Amino acid sequence: MVRAWGRGMNVTMFQYIKHSTANFGEQRAAQKMGIEVRSMGDGFTWRSKDLDQSADLARAQWEDSKEAILSGKYDVMVLDEFTYPMHYGWIETAEVIEVLKARPEMLHVIITGRNAPEELMEYADLVTEMNVVKHPYQQGIKAQPGIEF
CATH number where 75 lies: 3.40.50.300
Residue 148 lies in a domain: no
- Residues β-bridged to residue 76: 11, 108
Residue 3 counted as domain residue: no
Predicted TM-score (pTM) of the model is 0.91
* C-alpha to C-alpha distance for 84 and 90, rounded to whole angstroms: 9
pLDDT at 47: 67
Residue 92 lies in a domain: yes
Tell me, what's the pLDDT at 46?
63
Report the distance separating Cα 130 and Cα 148, nearest Å: 15
Per-residue confidence (pLDDT) for residue 149, from 0 to 100: 86
CA distance 98 to 131: 29
User: Is residue 35 in some structural domain?
Assistant: yes
d(CA 148, CA 25): 9
Q: Which domain holds residue 65?
A: 14-116
Residue 139, in any domain of the structure = no
How many domains, in total, are found in the chain?
1
